[in-house]
Structure 1
Amino acid sequence: MLFRIKSFFNLKTKAKYGLPLVLMALITSQTNAQDNRSFQIFQFPANKIPTIDGNSEDWKIVPENYIVGMDQLWDDSGKQPKADPKNLAVSVKIGWVKGLNRLYFLYEAYDDYWDFSLPGLHNDTFELIVDADQSGGPFIDRFHPNPNLTNTMDAYFSYHGVHAQNYHIFTPAVEKDWTMVWGSQPWIKNLPYANASYKYDFKPGQGGKLTLEFWITPFDYAGNNPSRAVESILEENKNIGLCWAIIDYDDVNKTENNGFWNLSKEHKMYGNASYSLPFKLMPLEKQYKKEIDAKWSFKVVNMAKREVAFVDESEGEITSWNWDFGDGTTSTEQNPIHQYKEAGKYVVILKIQGPKGISQLSKVWDVAVK
């Protein structure tokens, strides 16, 4: 980093602007580069998936250490030197469910002046950036790396929002769709890719509390044609890139906002996924996990030879495995490959044992060969 600063601020630059400016640039670069914050995404048990109804009851099981509050945000517009809970107070919780490529959000906010009476972008907003595969880099048309495509419709349709997504979520949305997807893929805000619900009791210009509950589907590739889209695969212990800003309006007659409360230290995070922050998809909390739990999957590796590979996915401390392949044969290997002599549909059982007890799982006729 020092080499880059020295290269940029050569002797002529120093002579023209002086040493203080050089030091200021160095300090600014260090501040932005040294943002080592990371956050966590709560894993909901499969039997406790939140209902999207604007009610926060389902989220009470999420520990407080998962909350991202105003203490993590800063107003990079410079209009608000520090957060004032009498003016604006926001908390965000994020969840996921193993096996579903969905991100669940609970957005709770108090504002002393809710501005949402106009039909356009002048609306209190939760602007969310999603880069689930952490590919990074610019992703809006005005930042296109090819200067010939900057701010063109070609860039909009082929590039804007494709590898990372930007949601302008209106808080609340009245007589308008719940969010504007900033890009050429508005289909991602509708079912079966997203859903949202609000709860509030204030009118435009009044203060009060808003609860917004929603889920979205992250995409590694999301162009204007949904048939070509590639969903992001959410996996336990994986980091994904997220960021957001709260755009707060306090006067319907003023075109400028009253604050841009940013989670990132870089203002342009709204169009550059490199400025997002890592959020870890956490395992289940201990109280929702069995001490020993048999789980397994399989794959037919050669149908002509009736060869099936079995994969142990059990959880807990395990000392022994016992497979019953349903054809009168067994194995004590953890991940066996079995060859069936005859075609058929089989009941396969995995029994595991460890210091905490015994568990088994059978699957009826899942394994079938011909």
Structure 2
Amino acid sequence: MTLIHQKSRLKKPFLIVLIVFLSIFVVSFSIPEKEYRIYQFPKNKIPRIDGEFSDWAQVPESYTIGLDQLMDTRFGNGTNLNPKDFDISVKVGWVKDLNRLYFFLEMKDDYWDFDNPALGQDIFELVVDGNLSGGPFIKQHNGNKDIISLEELHFKGHGAHAQNYHIFTPVQNKEEVMIWGNTPWIKEFPHYNAAYDYNFKHSESGKLKMEFWITPFDHAAVEGFQVSTITKLKENDVIGLSWCFLDFDGEKCESFMNLAHDTKMIYDASYLNIFRLMPLEKQFVKAIDADWSFVEMDRNQRWFQFKDESIGNITKWHWDFGDGNSSNDQHPSHKYDKAGEWTVILTIEGPEGKSVRSKVWDVVTK
């Protein structure tokens, strides 16, 4: 959260002192070298955004990122954070071929602050840089700000190559998220969805649970989704990701606890943490499992290139192309003699057994 976020709360003399203080204070922190992990949900166990949360029980505790990983980089508390005042744990997940990041938060606060209609409330601030492009992405920190006005820079890359989400915890009488950028559309369904569970009122203590997904973008354009580029999430790839929590107690934001250990993470993607998109846990992986894909090389020649995408220790392949022809190559090429709708079957074998995958009428010739 930048200083401008707090203008409604702070007097100008105090702002000047705070600016000087921060210019000295934040540079003393370095980026943690720890690599964090993003849990891969099986496709038949995708978490539902319904406020019930049982879908997250499958995620091992080793994926949990707690208060002990955070540092207060604004108000001088360092890593000496008191869980009796505020506590948080976060799990992050993904699903192969579905370009979303899923989050599950459990938080306890001795004073939940959420009656302010603007930014003066408890906030989970999340920043994602899907392709590790790095660098500043907020207009106030654009290197051209002395040449181009902030008003004009707002529409020139402000929040484009990395995205900053201010997620209200909990939300009351306003949108669930403020996007610090020129792309408020990224907080709309189907790019974002959230569910909360809590039983407390403003100024009370209590526990809050929430789950949500976001869609990361390599480039989020002010013009909208149609001209933007979604991050393609791939197994074992790494992304830039970090978060902080702004703990308001009444009129005062008393701590700015962040995972990156550097306040610059909110506007410069070079300071985010590294997160790896993990493979499936072993219990969800078959010892041997047949799968395949194809590319139509030439429609007029009825020519197809097939690709084995099976997993396991495989020693034999057998392809049945559906027209009476077959192949024992791993990645065969085949030409059909006539028009038709073909059922193609791949059978694989290995020390762990045998697996079969047929696809009905995916392959069509004219």
TM-score by length of 1: 0.89
| Whole-Å separation in 1 of the counterparts to 2:134 and 2:145 | 19
What is the CA-CA distance between 1:79 and the residue it aligns to? 4.1
Q: How does 1:207-356 map to 2 (within 5 A)?
A: 207-226=205-224, 227-251=226-250, 254=251, 256-356=252-352
- The structure-2 alpha-carbon separation of the partners of 1:76 and 1:361, relative to structure 1 and needing over 3 Å to count, comes to same
Bigger drift between 180-189 and 149-158 goes to 149-158
Q: In 1, distance between residues paired with 2:147 and 2:162?
A: 18
Instruction: Tell me the secondary structure at the aligned position of residue 139 of structure 1.
Output: coil
Structure 1 residue 184 displacement after superposition:
1.0
Q: 1:284 aligns to what SS in structure 2? A: coil
More displaced stretch, 71-80 vs 60-69: 71-80
Alignment correspondent of 1:11: none
Structure 1 residue ranges without an equivalent (≥5)? 1-24
Partner of 2:46: 49
Within 5 Å, give how 1:38-77 maps onto structure 2: 38-77=35-74
The letter of the residue matching 2:347 is K
User: 2:139 maps to which residue?
Assistant: 141
The sequence identity of aligned pairs, in percent, is 50
SS at match of 1:361: strand
Contact 1:323 1:332 survives alignment (8 Å)? yes
Work out the CA distance in 1 between the residues paired with 2:147 and 2:204. Answer: 43
> Displacement of 1:304 after TM fit?
2.0
Q: Tell me if the contact between 1:98 and 1:234 (Cα under 8 Å) persists in the aligned partners.
A: yes
Residue 332 of structure 1 and its aligned partner are, at CA, apart by 1.1
- For residue 293 of structure 1, give the secondary structure of its aligned residue in structure 2: coil
- When structure 1 is superposed on structure 2, of 148-157 and 211-220 the one drifting more is 148-157
Residue of structure 2 equivalent to 1:175: 173
- Matches of 2:131 and 2:329, distance apart in 1: 34
Query: Using a 3 Å threshold, how does the CA distance of structure 1 residues 79 and 150 change in structure 2: closer, same or farther?
Result: farther
Measure, in 2, the Cα distance between the counterparts of 1:110 and 1:316: 44
In the alignment, the residues of structure 2 paired with residue 320 and residue 39 of structure 1 have an alpha-carbon distance, to the nearest angstrom, of 38
**1:304 partner amino acid:** N
**Residue pair 2:72, 2:261 contacting (<8 A) in 1 also:** no
Find the partner of 2:183 among 165, 182, 185. 185
The amino acid that maps onto 1:366 is D
SS in 2 for 1:92: strand
| Post-superposition CA distance 1:255-303 (Å, at most 9, x none) | x411000111221110100111111111110001111111111111221
Contact 2:289 2:310 in 1 (8 A): yes
Equivalent position of 1:362 in the other structure: 358
Q: Tell me how far apart the structure 2 counterparts of residues 271 and 77 of structure 1 sit (CA, whole Å).
A: 15
Contact 1:141 1:149 in 2 (8 A): no
Relative distance call for 1:94 and 1:258 in structure 2 (3 A) is: same
For residues 99 and 208 of structure 2, what CA distance do their matches in structure 1 show? 26
Q: How does 1:52-131 map to 2 (within 5 A)?
A: 52-81=49-78, 82-131=80-129
The residue matched to 1:113 in structure 2 has which SS?
coil
Deviation digits for residues 181-206 of structure 1, max 9, x if unmatched?
11111111111111111100000000
The one-letter code matched in structure 1 to 2:241 is L
C-alpha distance in structure 1 between counterparts of 2:117 and 2:76, whole Å: 25
Contact 2:348 2:356 survives alignment (8 Å)? yes
- Whether the 8 Å CA contact 2:139–2:145 is kept in 1: the answer is no
CA apart distance, 1:148:
3.5
Pick closer, same or farther for the CA change 1:124–1:151 going to 2, 3 Å: farther
Query: Residue 98 of structure 2 aligns to a residue in which SS?
Result: coil
Q: CA deviation at 1:153?
A: 2.2
Distance 2:118 2:178 in 1: 10
After TM superposition, list the pairs within 5 Å mapping 1:187-206 onto structure 2: 187-206=185-204
Alignment check: 8 A CA contact 1:79 1:258 kept: no
- Whether 1:158 aligns to 2:156 is yes
SS in structure 2 of the partner of residue 167 of structure 1: strand
Q: Distance in 2 between matches of 1:149 and 1:307?
A: 57
Q: Which amino acid aligns with 2:253?
A: N
Query: Quick check: 74-83 or 258-267, which moved more?
Result: 74-83
With normalisation by structure 2, the TM-score equals: 0.90
Residues 71 and 257 in structure 2, CA contact (< 8 A), matched pair in contact too: yes
Is the CA contact 1:141–1:150 (under 8 Å) kept in the aligned structure 2? no
Q: Secondary structure at the match of 1:350?
A: strand
Q: How many Å apart are 1:151 and its aligned residue?
A: 5.5
Report the Cα distance in structure 2 between the residues aligned to 1:196 and 1:274, rounded to whole angstroms.
Answer: 27
Question: CA offsets per residue over residues 100-158 of structure 1, 9 Å max, x none?
Answer: 00111001100010000110000100000010111111100011122345661221112
- The Cα of 1:38 is off from its aligned counterpart by 0.6
Q: How far apart in 2 are the matches of 1:247 and 1:264?
A: 14
Bigger shift: residues 298-307 or 203-212:
298-307
Checking the alignment, whether the CA contact within 8 Å between 2:75 and 2:254 is kept in structure 1 is: no
Query: Aligned partners of 1:148, 1:333: CA distance in 2, in Å?
Result: 62
- 1:63 maps to a residue whose letter is P
Q: Compared with structure 1, are the counterparts of its residues 163 and 149 closer, same or farther at alpha carbon in structure 2 (3 Å cutoff)?
A: farther
